[in-house]
Structure 1
């Protein structure tokens, strides 16, 4: 749980200035799931 809380805090800092909610969730998804979700096979 501690690691997850730290990850969320880092994401909040990295996403500062993103006003579009869709972009924010894309950024969170990318950081949590990694790039393999968006990889072209």
Structure 2
């Protein structure tokens, strides 16, 4: 249930983004968090 809510929120936040690559970038960033960018 938490994952479905997260997807709904992401769909609302991505409204107006027409480039599919940008949508998937937003999904991966929001789902995985900022762990890809280590703190200095």
TM range (shorter): 0.7 to 0.9
Structure with greater proportional helix content: 1
Question: Which sections of structure 2, spanning at least 5 residues, go unmatched?
Answer: none
Question: Which sections of structure 1, spanning at least 5 residues, go unmatched?
Answer: none
Partner SS for 1:22 = helix
Partners of 2:21 and 2:11 lie apart in 1 by: 15
Determine which structure has greater relative contact order: mean sequence separation of CA pairs < 8 Å that are 6+ residues apart, divided by chain length.
2
Partners of 1:3 and 1:35 lie apart in 2 by: 19
TM-score, normalization by structure 2: 0.86
C-alpha RMSD of the superposition: 1.2
TM-score, normalization by structure 1: 0.84
